[in-house]
Chain A
Amino acid sequence: MIEKKVDIAVIGAGPGGLAAAVSAKESGADVLLIERNPFLGGILIQCIHDGFGLHLFDKNYTGPEYAEEMVNRLENAGVPYLTNCMVIDLNEKKELTVVTSKGLMKLIAKAVILAMGCRERTRGALEIPGTRPAGIYTAGVAQNLVNIQNLRIGNDVVILGSGDVGLIMARRLKIEGLNVIRVIEILPYCSGLVRNRVQCLEDYGIPLTLSSTVIDIHGKDRLEAVTMAKVDRDFNVDHDTTEKIDCDTLLLSVGLIPENELSKKAGVNLDNRTSGALVDNFYETSTEGIFSCGNVLHIHDVADYASNEGFFVGEKAAEYAKGKWKHSGGKPVKIGNGISYVVPQYIRNDCNEVELKFRVTQPFENVRIIVKNGDDVVFKKRVLKVIPSEMNILKLKSIDPEKDVEVKIVIIDKNIN
């Protein structure tokens, strides 16, 4: 087996991993970036729509353009990388087993940055009854087939789930001349960003049916129809409201799950709220010297946020590899009323600056976001509208890490939606 030593191994060359590799290298570390695809950029390459780079580059790039900008930065920084290589094992000693075209490689790293991204929830996870015909795709797979493989995936399309990828694909398929019949969402509100709902559905007159789901699938060889029904607040199906919709294609856009198989092998503890690693405010996981960033840590709204996280984590991992600081553990962040998760989950005891990223449990109007540090209110902001699909980011400059930090939503008026 080939054996190699490196300061920092970065696993995955999407928006998070590319940024982490650049910043680790620029912070003076010896870095190796490993990507299983034959190309760099990860999922960005198939995301041919625009809306990328608004935060990071102050430009409205498409996914492939954003990827090329990041790859240029990687090449300018002189970061070595491997493509067509897959990490199949990782342990607590930060030893990686990598499949390469020349055989297995053992890579021994001082620090590891996990940036493997996420995968899509499938029909299996939803347990939709019915037959198992062809024509049922997750939205991201459909995106790859259409945008990269140049295939026509069907004619009459129903989309289940109003996540951003589903909305983007509704428009994409409509532009390619497919009949996009409707988008069905189980929640009482659209789960994607408002701008995507407006520009992808309303622009093309594609109806969105809320508080509804698919309860049956019909067809032997190819999908022939789905049965839609209303659900109540607790997601119980109302069988008196069924409607059969003829279609030959069903897209599922029903959530993304961080891909943490490798993390688990390295003993990294996961958060059951995010399905990503539990990290402190340097993004170090429960396993010393192993860091996490991007969608493998928690699902981001936009690639820019994943890259920003990567830039920060690359720097922190480089500091760790140079022995500038030690594993801390830290104090858990308290999750208060109205908050579904907070990243990081822990605050180190040697640092009083922290950036908190969090989502709310449901849409709220006219509320206060409050952060308490012990008994002190260290952040207070009135917001007119806050929704689960938009991640909130706030920086706190001088907290006392010995005291508890709690994030919560306080309702000003009682008109919750």
Chain B
Amino acid sequence: MAQERKIICILCPNCCELDVSYEGKEILSIENDRCPRGLEYASEELFNPARTLITTVPIKSRNWKTVSVRTTKPVPKSRIFDVYDEVKKIRLRAPINRGDIIIENVLGFGADVIATRTVKE
């Protein structure tokens, strides 16, 4: 059965409020889209929503208590808290360089968790 959903496309400042009708994994109709990117966005949001997880990890260092980390690419939105739990098991020690891999291929989603700040000592 066809379902309806309102999705705000956030790819540009126009922020079109898309009215999408879909069935299964197929978009039947889309309205209020001012450009073709709306359809692509709606399709991702409906069938494959993913987000970048960003948080901090405790670090043993002279000047800092945390180092900020993120996933190198978006992970499935519904599993964001599972990824968070994995990240929060980690304890680091300085030195850490920006871009250092903290967890490789986290939960098999194809994204690494990396440090986003350098902590020298």
Question: In this complex, what residue of A is CB-closest to B17?
Answer: A194
Shortest C-beta distance, A72 to chain B (Å), equals 10
B43 at the interface (CB under 8 A from A): no
Question: In this complex, what residue of B is CB-closest to A44?
Answer: B117
B8 at the interface (CB under 8 A from A): yes
Interface size for B (C-beta < 8 A) is: 27
B54 — which chain A residues lie within 8 A by C-beta? 48-50, 62, 175
Best-surrounded residue of B77, B80, B98 (most CB of chain A within 10 A): B98
B13 — which chain A residues lie within 8 A by C-beta? 194, 385, 390
Contact (A50, B52) CB under 8 Å given A194-B15, A198-B10 = yes
Best-surrounded residue of A48, A148, A149, A176 (most CB of chain B within 10 A): A48
Question: In this complex, what residue of B is CB-closest to A176?
Answer: B55
Q: Which single member of B52, B53, B65, B70 contacts A150 (CB below 8 Å)?
A: B65
Docked complex Cα distance between A144 and B68 (Å): 12
Docked complex Cα distance between A147 and B84 (Å): 15
Shortest C-beta distance, B43 to chain A (Å), equals 17
Contact (A147, B68) CB under 8 Å given A48-B54, A65-B116 = yes
Contact (A48, B15) CB under 8 Å given A68-B118, A194-B10 = no
A199 at the interface (CB under 8 A from B): yes
**Residues A38 and B63 in contact, CB atoms below 8 Å apart:** yes
A127 at the interface (CB under 8 A from B): no
A17 at the interface (CB under 8 A from B): no
**Residues B8 and A194 in contact, CB atoms below 8 Å apart:** yes
Shortest C-beta distance, A390 to chain B (Å), equals 6
B66 at the interface (CB under 8 A from A): yes
A195 at the interface (CB under 8 A from B): yes
A384 at the interface (CB under 8 A from B): yes
Docked complex Cα distance between A50 and B52 (Å): 9
Contact (A148, B66) CB under 8 Å given A64-B98, A176-B55, A199-B10 = yes
Q: Which single member of B14, B55, B58 contacts A175 (CB below 8 Å)?
A: B55
Contact (A149, B65) CB under 8 Å given A176-B55, A203-B51 = yes
Docked complex Cα distance between A275 and B44 (Å): 42
Chain B interface residues (CB < 8 Å from chain A): 8, 10, 13-15, 34, 51-56, 58, 63-66, 68, 70, 77, 80-81, 84, 98, 116-118
Given A50-B52, A146-B56, A385-B15, 10 additional A-B pairs, CB 8 A: A45-B117, A64-B116, A68-B118, A147-B56, A175-B54, A194-B13, A194-B15, A198-B10, A202-B8, A385-B14
* Interface pairs (11), CB distance under 8 Å: A49-B54, A50-B54, A64-B68, A148-B64, A175-B53, A175-B54, A194-B15, A195-B15, A198-B10, A202-B8, A203-B77
